[in-house]
Structure 1
Amino acid sequence: LTHAIINGEVRSNGTLLNIDKNSHIIIELRLTRDDRPRSIARTKIKLDSNRTKDPFSLLFKLKYPLSKMNPHNTYILTARIRNSQNKLIYVGDLPVPVTERKEKQAKHLIINIVETPSWFSNIDKLSLLAYKVTQLAGTE
């Protein structure tokens, strides 16, 4: 056993604005450390204009290597929507319990996204939220 899978859904209560034909969503599992946030796993999904209707919902699966998990670290699941100019337009962070071992039942995680504030040009600089690793897992 080398990998586990997080099942989840990215949601927005309203219609997604500023989405163009080359917009994409990046879903990423990250180690949260003040000195060195690190990506554990990520997936990129191209958005089509039919998916941006009210309300927005997108199912995903994210496979991550168990060898990179540590019960003493904290992790966060992020969803970022960027347009064709690679401008960050929607963001959502979810503190996530991550397991070190495979479990029978997958946990369905929901990331709610919000529009990035117009006054903040680089929201990636904001500090990440964190959550302790548990055995509650989003794996299958």
Structure 2
Amino acid sequence: MELKLKSLYEPLDIDIDTGRGTERVAAEVDVTPTNLARLARRCIDAQNKMAAIEALRKKGAESRNPEAIAESNARTGAILREVLTEAIGGDSYDGLLRACGNGREMSDADCTPVTTQVFRMVLDIVRSRNEQVDEKAAHYLPEESHAQTEPDPAA
């Protein structure tokens, strides 16, 4: 008999093409049941906030207002920092920013094209693990027709 299980820390390797090679940022997403629930809530909150900010970005693009676009990037960057720092850890997040800037310090706002993609990947991990948890839980729930209300007299 063999039992194969996934770790409760999902590896997430992020490769950044620097133009001079690839820099890998090694990260892990804590998908323990306690953290998974918290992270799922944080991801949903971040999505809702970013949807509201998207309206500001669109308005800025339509009116050709660079200040509005910069403001939307700054807000998005702050939201992504918050959720990704929790998801992959502060050190991995800081490494991601350094890799984006080829070793230079980058702002959250300037790194949003990359951090948005990392957020999507974290979201996929959270969704996948939540689906696995739901499948396992459903497997162990007794069917109502098989539920036994009284002890079996034959036992």
Q: Please give the TM-score of this superposition, normalised by the length of structure 1.
A: 0.29
Higher relative contact order (CA 8 A, sep 6+): 1
Higher strand share: 1
